[in-house]
Amino acid sequence: MQEILDTFNYCGMRYEVMEIGEGWKIVVSRHGGHVFGPFSEQYTDGLFWIPESVKNPAEYKKLIENQIWNTGGDRVWIAPEIQFNIRDRYRFRETLDTPKTIDPGEFSMKRDGESIILKQSLDLESYNTVTGKAHIEFERTLLKALNPLRKLPDYDILMKSVSYCGFEQVLDLTAESGQQIYAESWDLLQIRPRGCLYIPMYQAVRGTDHYEPAGDHEYLAGHGVALRITGDSRYKIAYKSAVLTGRFGYLADEKNGESYLIIINYPNNPSAMYSEEPPLREGDTGYSVHIYNDDGNSGGFAEMECNMQTVGRPTGLSRSVDRVAKWIYTGKRECLGRIADVLLGYSFEA
């Protein structure tokens, strides 16, 4: 962690350090509003993915100076991508370009007690679905998340030989436009391969491919869908909110007898629009979870992505306040499997 902070200092990045559990910390950067970590004595490099260039301050500084978004960690953007990031849906690979106003953007950052508050004000150009501009006011409040297991009678048994940390973000998004433009908070967590990602469902439904097909990376398991996370074969796949529970989790492959489990809890609401569309499926909306697996050309990471509720003139709403939590457990795979069974309904069979 200290080496990473030394790199941030070298790059002139302002950041805040926040405790999110016994012996656990995250680092929040004003540049891009990214969340790095979580760090502990055992996991000094953090659990979330960060590019290898962070070990070379001069190389990482190039990313910062060139305003490259791919600096690692957990970030929150403005969706839909098809509207703000892609200029031509029929040439989506060639015209995909994240606006610099989104990331790294212009953030203010302050500490309020044990919380950290990020604020962003920006104007975005809309493409494909409707042309025009939208003005966005975005406030994010980060705070420690208490262990969701703490009220259960089996808490001591479940937590035996397991360490926990967690944090929440309160996402307050306001969008104003004279055109029919949508906007959503969009949480993207970069994770390290390899492992298994599981999405519980009320009825198991396979996802919709955005780019290259997920193929046999995706399979039905338990009461949901599992995805093999490898970081060496590109796919992006999306899932309809109507069958989702509002939780999904990732269990990393065990190394040296240890593993970690990351669970995201977000306010899934099938009555919301969820305006993101696969590039070549115009009008196909309703997806609240997207999973991206890199082919190695962007660093070999994967992403757990979830969208919040849609605002904008067509919805009749100009503001949405959403709350998304990350619950993180470390320990032996069998112990984490029992926790996953409680929180996801799936124990991650071998």
In a domain, 292, yes or no: yes
Contact indicator for 294, 271 with CB cutoff of 8 Å: no
The residue that leads in pLDDT, 349 or 143, is 143
In a domain, 288, yes or no: yes
Task: Give residue 227's pLDDT.
Answer: 98
Contact indicator for 61, 121 with CB cutoff of 8 Å: no
Task: Give residue 287's pLDDT.
Answer: 98
Task: Give residue 350's pLDDT.
Answer: 67
- Which pTM value belongs to this model? 0.97
Model confidence at 211, in pLDDT bands (50, 70, 90)? Answer: confident
pLDDT, tens digit (0-9, with 9 covering 90-100), for 96-130 = 999 999 999 999 999 999 999 999 999 999 999 88
Distance between CA atoms of 10 and 17, rounded to whole angstroms? 17
Distance between CA atoms of 12 and 218, rounded to whole angstroms? 41
State the chain's mean pLDDT as an integer.
Answer: 96
Task: Give residue 349's pLDDT.
Answer: 78
In a domain, 349, yes or no: no
pLDDT at 156 over 70: yes
In a domain, 350, yes or no: no
**At 54, which CATH number?**
2.70.98.10
Residues in Cβ contact with 151 at an 8 Å cutoff, skipping those fewer than 6 apart: none
Other CB atoms within a 10 A radius of the CB of residue 39 amount to 24
pLDDT, tens digit (0-9, with 9 covering 90-100), for 173-184 = 999 998 889 999
Domain span at residue 102? 2-343
pLDDT, tens digit (0-9, with 9 covering 90-100), for 43-99 = 999 999 999 999 999 999 999 999 999 999 999 999 999 999 999 999 998 999 999
pLDDT at 9 over 90: yes
3-state secondary structure the chain: CHHHHHHHHHCCCCEEEEEEECCEEEEEECCCCCEEEEECCCCCCCCECCCHHHHCHHHHHHHHHCCCCCCCCEEEEEECHHHHCECCHHHHHHHECCCCCCCCCCEEEEEECCEEEEEEEEEEEECCCCCEEEEEEEEEEEEECCCCCCCCCCHHHHCCCCEEEEEEEEEEEEEECCCCCEEEEEEEEEECCCEEEEEEECCCCCCEECCCCCHHHEEEECCEEEEEECCCCCEEEEEEHHHECCEEEEEECCECCEEEEEEEECCCCCCCCCCCCCCCCCCCCCEEEEEEECCCCCCCCEEEEEECCCEEHHHCECEEEEEEEEEEEEECHHHHHHHHHHHCCCCCCC
Number of domains in the chain: 1
Model confidence at 20, in pLDDT bands (50, 70, 90)? Answer: very high
